[in-house]
Structure 1
């Protein structure tokens, strides 16, 4: 059960980074990673902004002329008077000197910025940096900041949180002391599990067991989640989404390349190895078989791969599901395909059909029709083998069955799938489990020591500038009709901003945590998450809810609530500092804010109004012009492919369209806000004073680009191109900046160069 925080679907929210393997290791990319589901499931923080701030923000956006007396569109780029408003102090200190040195060392000034700005800005760092063996990718900004926050959290968990016998301290301790050898526990688990599956005989019993698995965060057949209803965002709906796969995407099953065939062969070996290490066996004609199913382990592995291949065949491509017109299908439960046994499934979960208005929302009608037939016609032994493997794989992925079994999981998903050479150290994995499972509690301790009210106020001040900049972008878009401009401006005024942290976090009162049983601790957390999600059904949507913890280095926009959320962790160096020059802050955090705000008007977000309701509020002629502009962006990005890979491994312009539109808009909005703001800023730094050789405008663009300096393993890069709604980091620089005239002006790029093409794409 999940709240679908990070799924690339219409009602979900896609964070700035998506799920980034570099921060927690390869595990978070695994499609059925239980920890990933727990992270999505536990909506972590809520916050109430004061009325005065909301009123001030609305007035600011409603009357941008008050603040944009000399906006770039009115004065040809000249900056105006800031009216004495202070966003950042600019006194010189050691952090500024360190920043300037860091910027210069990351660059490679030998590269022509008009031909390859990514390597101009990041080349020095790329040349010096190797991916650590316990990472599948590594970034200059996001990963380094995450490592710093990890160190802070580790100190808390191994210090006062442990000494105080807090739930977070005890969970971390139980993980760190999980025994490597779990043989006696596995025997108990086998017997307990056998009692669950021994009576599995028909599609109804399969539906019942599927519900039990879903309540324990074990993914089988499909995904179930609770989220705002797209048409009525004041209530929650129950969503069913295609799923049931154990490889990263449908392409891993369907593509016939040598590499994909090799992965599937290795997958078969992993299934057999996991079964052989965990199940009680009997001998059957000299072949190992399980006491749970009558198939030999060889047969079981082949049947599981075959079943998942069928699921992959009936699954829609991820890019298709980005369109809410395709993926939002409310279906009365009486019309749910027969062999899904929806009423039995809901009964096991304790969901009264009347609470969900006797409706379930499904993302693919065809998938569930064919899944129903599969559940009725697939041999029971195959179903038993499939569900048993998914249960074991889920438990092993979270280290719940000991280190020796986790090593097998890592060898396949880490080394073979993601190209990661070594598993993450145990403390980092235990920190990740604790952070995912009890993130609100850990976040409270983090905020107390690492986030000040002045920093929050500074971020709020910057965000008002970004919103005013976007108001001008809307006003100056000639292809928008006055009717659509008015409606878009109204939506912009209604955006709800959440910054920093919540004042009413989850306290996990029903979660039982002991010092010495990580398995039961983790199970308690999983059940808490499902219970919390299901209890939302029938209740009004909590508009104060957060879907990220304050210690998360990320941000998101939620179209169903028309809200932007910026956790405390991303309001840190190198994204943001009250001591940094404005060009650096706006190129960093400002572009992040502009990115999230642009999501409200990308190809998905534009279909939701200011209240978060999904409906068409654009006139048909303006919608057509938007689609033409969006297709230009899609075609542009589909022409990009990483130099480390062959041209067949190119960006999927349709899958990444929303993020690409947000990147294009985010840079433009942040730059315009910076240009206006910098004129009234009492700064000691301008031109070459801060970074020799860079003027203010150039410093802005270099600061933006250096957010995305990143290296990937080949395997991870290939996986991301098929599964991630974000483009690889190189193209989050090349895409937006090559289409932006202000960048070309700043670096004197001649028409016809890569960063000043004859024809450009833009939406905002």
Structure 2
């Protein structure tokens, strides 16, 4: 992208000598004065896209680059009461939510014809916002979903109820999703996962971290209160909650860790229908799978096979009454947002305040917008991109993506540690990428979804069923390579290895990530790094296992794998040393893929930025060189502040390093040391031989 710089231009008035005119000829009209030149479009942040006032320039970059780049902003930042964290993603999410609310409310007020998307969007939102009607129904809507579990006389009947509940509100023990078969990416297959826990991760049950121990006690209290709301007498609720907790603790003992569960080779286990009973006895798989809609399906991927074996055994040894209580609790928790205030408040008190530290629930309108986006996100997305995603942004993003893919290709072509034959295949994979920018080419069809004004609970359940059926219907059909897994209003991006694609929804293509009027260095450090990050996911420790056709296969040489692992071990060790909270260190193995993405993404984006200069030196703006602006633009994207409970949960469960630690990846870049004159002795200084350079 080229930045247009205008000088002030004077308009010269020229006097011309003209030949004599015939008397009858009218005098020529004077030439109109030239219009003044339009001012150059201005960046949204600062004079060129950088928030200089938000920096803390009293700090030396080598001592704490994050504080240097963001210190004043973070010092003055107060997390809103209805948030458990705040940063650039949340700021843009709030903006996206405000804009989406306008679109939805316009639909609600439009008196649209029955059956149209506008009618469905408007009535879905209006029904949720009718709090008085929701309150009047109390817990009544929930009873229909609880009845199949409560009426089950046998564990086979309970398993059947579990399978049926996947379509609406209900507990998850063995949930699934439909996706491309990783080893046959032209076909769809169901993937089954371990589940069943009420706490965020198995470690909350098994590790005696003081925060986990405290959370366990509060979970018992919460479970008892939720059971009481469903009609369980208070005198019995506490004992039932303990039994539920013990059941879940036994499940946690056999669950795979999150590190094990991110290994794409280990989690690819193809089972036939008959394999379930043989490999995981103790659970009526036929009843469950038939009720879930798989009566005629005979190929499944089981992601954690030994966990399924262990969970089935735990299920078999657990009294039916405890299983019913567990199902009651989790069905109530799943449906709570659509129920009366008592359910909403109690569920938030635990999920929001205890687990995430959030003092206040979000206003009802925000929760309503979330609900509409989850139910019919692409119907709203159509209107969103028409209003908020200009063609100019899409065109400039196309250019940025093209430049960064070219930079990655150059890196691959000259990568010394990769075998020549592997480099050829890697470049072929890159050349077959599909970038998706802004919004899908074909919008989802919601004609089969019924929305009834005044039935908030029923609308949500029907939306769940619609999405369930839509996914189930993929099996046996050609793969839809145009499908998106995020709405245009989502502030995020993703890489999909089986599609060999990178995807950037419209809502992330805004400042500070991307501003068509900002200095190129800022855009390359912001959205450029995001683009590079997503590209590099296809070559990280898991993405590298997929070939150019999206097939999970071993296409690297053993030497490549060994050399690559030597680099990734360095990445793991570096991030293991970070401690965002006392006693809670980053898990370098869990976050490895994302950390490689940050390292590689920044490398590629920096190369692309340098190439975009066409051999000319970058201008100095407000005293900052081009490379300084690049690294600062990157750091300012990751301004984040977290409440402690959320940070504890984040470190335990999220494959990303907490946002406010992500800019420290710069310490691996020689260009960063040069740009900011970082010398030995700085807190984040790394000797040249300790700097990790994967790509």
Residue number in structure 2 paired with 1:596 = 534
Indicate whether 1:349 and 2:292 are aligned. yes
Give the secondary-structure state (helix, strand or coil) at the position aligned to 2:201.
Answer: coil
- For 2:94, the equivalent position in structure 1 comes to 147
Q: Please give the alpha-carbon distance, in whole angstroms, between the structure 2 residues aligned to 1:113 and 1:180.
A: 56
What is residue 471 of structure 1 aligned with on the other side? 409
Structure-to-structure mapping, 1:156-195, within 5 angstroms:
156-165=103-112, 166=118, 167-179=120-132, 182=135, 184-187=137-140, 189-190=142-143, 192-193=144-145, 195=147
Q: 1:390 aligns with which of 330, 333, 349?
A: 330
1:289-343 C-alpha deviation (Å, 9 max, x unpaired): xxxxxxx212211111011111111101101111112111111221212333322
User: Aligned to 2:673, which of 730, 744, 753?
Assistant: 744
Match of 1:653 in 2: 588
Q: Secondary structure at the match of 1:585?
A: helix
**What residue number does 2:54 align with?**
106
The TM-score with structure 2 as length reference comes to 0.90
Q: CA separation of 1:89/1:446 partners in 2, compared to 1, >3 Å: closer, same or farther?
A: farther
- Residue in 1 aligned with 2:13? none
CA distance in 1, matches of 2:451, 2:445: 13
Runs of 4+ in 1 over 6 A off after TM superposition: none
CA displacement, residues 230-274 of structure 1 (integer Å, 9 cap, x when unaligned)? 101111111111111111111111122333222111111111111
- Residue ranges of structure 1 left out of the alignment (5+ in a row): 1-85, 282-286, 289-295
User: How far did residue 187 of structure 1 move?
Assistant: 4.1
Residue 219 of structure 2 is aligned to residue 219 of structure 1: no
- The secondary structure found in structure 1 opposite 2:682 is coil
2:680 is equivalent to residue 762 of structure 1: no
The equivalent of 2:187 in structure 1 is: 235
Matched, 1:339 2:282: yes
How many Å separate the matches in 2 of 1:87 and 1:763?
30
The one of 620, 625, 646 aligned to 1:687 = 620
8 Å CA contact 2:193–2:302 kept in 1: the answer is: yes
Structure 2 CA distance, aligned partners of 1:90 and 1:439?
A: 40
CA positional deviation for 1:755: 4.3
Please list the CA deviations of residues 46-69 of structure 1 after superposition, one character each: whole Å capped at 9, or x if unmatched: xxxxxxxxxxxxxxxxxxxxxxxx
Q: TM-score, normalised by structure 1?
A: 0.82
CA distance in 2, matches of 1:197, 1:164: 40
Asked whether 1:501 is paired with 2:439, we answer: yes
Partner of 2:198: 246
Give the distance between the partners of 2:368 and 2:573, measured in 1 at CA: 42
Q: 1:469 to 1:179 in 2, by over 3 A?
A: same
Question: What 5-or-longer segments of structure 2 have no aligned partner?
Answer: 7-39, 113-117
Q: Are 2:85 and 1:137 equivalent residues in the alignment?
A: yes
Distance (whole Å) between structure 1 residues aligned to residue 293 and residue 354 of structure 2: 40
Alpha-carbon spacing, 1:618–1:278, altered in 2? closer, same or farther (3 Å): same
Among 448, 451, 457, which residue is 2:389 paired with? 451
Root mean square deviation of aligned Cα: 1.9
Deviation per CA, 1:514-542, whole angstroms, max 9, x where unpaired?
A: 22111011011000011011111112221
The 5-angstrom pairing of residues 63-462 of structure 1 reads 89=4, 92-95=40-43, 98=46, 100=48, 103-139=51-87, 141-165=88-112, 166=118, 167-179=120-132, 182=135, 184-187=137-140, 189-190=142-143, 192-193=144-145, 195-279=147-231, 281=233, 288=235, 296-336=236-276, 337-353=280-296, 356=297, 358-396=298-336, 399-462=337-400
* Alpha-carbon distance between aligned partners in 1 of 2:286 and 2:131, rounded to the nearest angstrom: 39
Q: Which has the bigger relative contact order, CA under 8 A and spacing at least 6? A: 1
Q: Secondary structure at the match of 2:691?
A: coil
8 Å Cα contact 2:197-2:252 kept in structure 1: yes
- Residues 193 and 432 of structure 1: is their aligned pair in 2 closer, same or farther, counting only changes over 3 Å? closer
Number of matched pairs: 651
Say if 2:575 is the partner of 1:637: yes
Contact 1:202-1:376 within 8 A present in 2 as well = no
Structure 1 residues 757 and 102: alpha-carbon distance in aligned structure 2, compared to 1, 3 A threshold = closer
Residue in structure 1 matched with residue 29 of structure 2 by the alignment: none
1:405-450 Cα shifts (integer Å, max 9, x gaps): 2011111111111111111111111111111111011101101111
Shift of 1:168: 1.3
Aligned partners of 2:251 and 2:314 also within 8 Å: no
Q: Distance in 2 between matches of 1:175 and 1:488?
A: 49
CA distance in 1, matches of 2:519, 2:47: 10
Which of the pair has more CA radius of gyration?
A: 2
**Most deviating of 199-208 and 649-658:** 199-208
Which residue matches 2:33?
none
Where do 1:512-661 residues align within 5 Å? 512-642=450-580, 645-646=581-582, 648-661=583-596
CA distance in 2, matches of 1:87, 1:458: 10
Partner secondary structure for residue 291 of structure 2:
helix
Alignment partners' CA distance in 2, 1:182 and 1:274:
17
Q: After TM superposition, give the deviation of residue 217 of structure 1 in Å.
A: 4.9
